[in-house]
Structure formats: C-alpha cells, structure tokens
C-alpha cells in the first residue's frame, strides 16, 4: 500500500544527543515537509523540500537539519543545538505541480530526558 512512514514512533534521548527521525514515502511525491507540534499548539514548519537535493528552511529551522538525497526519503536530525526538542514531529508529502492534500505519517514523539 502507498503511504508515508515515520520511525521511530516513540524516542527517548538524553540531553545533548543528536537524534535522526526517518521519513519515507512511496507515493512518488515531489514535495516533503517536516512539522513540529507542541501540546495544545498548531503545526510549525521546520523544513520543506520541493525536489531531490534541495530544501528550504521553515519558520523554526534552528537546531534542525535535513537531507533529500532520494525522492522517497527526507530524514530530520534534531541536533543538540535545539533548545526544546521534546515534541511531536510530523512528516508529510504532497505531489508537485498541483495543489492537493498533504499526506502525513503517523508522527514521531521525541522526549528528551
């Protein structure tokens, strides 16, 4: 079945450690996005990518890094520079060239101890 897969679903890390969240899609979508959601808050855009080997910063990119080496993959690294990394991270994809819905993964819940 086509879809978008995030892993891991839950992750616990010690303060100061870098963490990489995986996002894979088999929908052949050009655009991919990473959002962060804090309790009771809306989604905030971290990074987005329109095509392979290209990505743009969103509203809260500081302390995060991404890569887009393959069309189907858009991993997010939460670095030790991110001051408050504990959050719910959502990856999404969308077909390029036309407006349409975003397809979300089930999310990764990161807790930094």
Partner 1 sequence: RKEVEQDPGPFNVPEGATVAFNCTYSNSASQSFFWYRQDCRKEPKLLMSVYSSGNEDGRFTAQLNRASQYISLLIRDSKLSDSATYLCVVNGKTSYDKVIFGPGTSLSVIP
The answer to whether residue 96 forms part of the interface with partner 1 (CB under 8 A) is yes
Extract the runs of DSSP E, i.e. beta strands, from the chain. 4-7, 10-13, 19-25, 31-37, 43-49, 56-57, 64-66, 76-78, 87-94, 103-104, 108-112
Candidate ranges 11-19, 42-50, 63-71, 79-87; the one touching partner 1 (CB under 8 A)? 42-50
Q: CB 74 → partner 1: shortest distance, Å?
A: 14
The answer to whether residue 35 forms part of the interface with partner 1 (CB under 8 A) is yes
Q: Binding residue for partner 1 (CB under 8 A) from 58, 61, 72, 80? A: 58
* Pick 4 or 112: Cβ nearer partner 1: 4
Q: What's CA 65's distance to the chain center, in Å? A: 10
Give CA angle at 53 (42, 1), nearest 5°.
65
Residue 6 per-residue DSSP state: E
**3-state SS, residue 98:** coil
The answer to whether residue 89 forms part of the interface with partner 1 (CB under 8 A) is no
List contacts with partner 1 (CB under 8 A): 29-31, 33, 35, 41-43, 45, 48, 50, 56, 58, 88, 90, 92, 94-102, 104-107
């Amino acid at each position: 079945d086509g879809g978008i897969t995030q892993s891991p679903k839950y992750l616990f890390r010690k303060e100061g450690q870098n963490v990489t969240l995986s996002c894979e899609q088999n929908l052949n979508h050009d655009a991919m996005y990473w959002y962060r959601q804090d309790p009771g808050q809306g989604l905030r855009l971290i990074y987005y990518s329109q095509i392979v080997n290209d990505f743009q910063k969103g509203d809260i990119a500081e302390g995060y890094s991404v890569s887009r080496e393959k069309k189907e993959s858009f991993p997010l690294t939460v670095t030790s520079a991110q001051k408050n990394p504990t959050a719910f991270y959502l990856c999404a994809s969308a077909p390029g060239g036309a407006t349409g819905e975003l397809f979300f993964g089930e999310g990764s819940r990161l807790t930094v101890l």
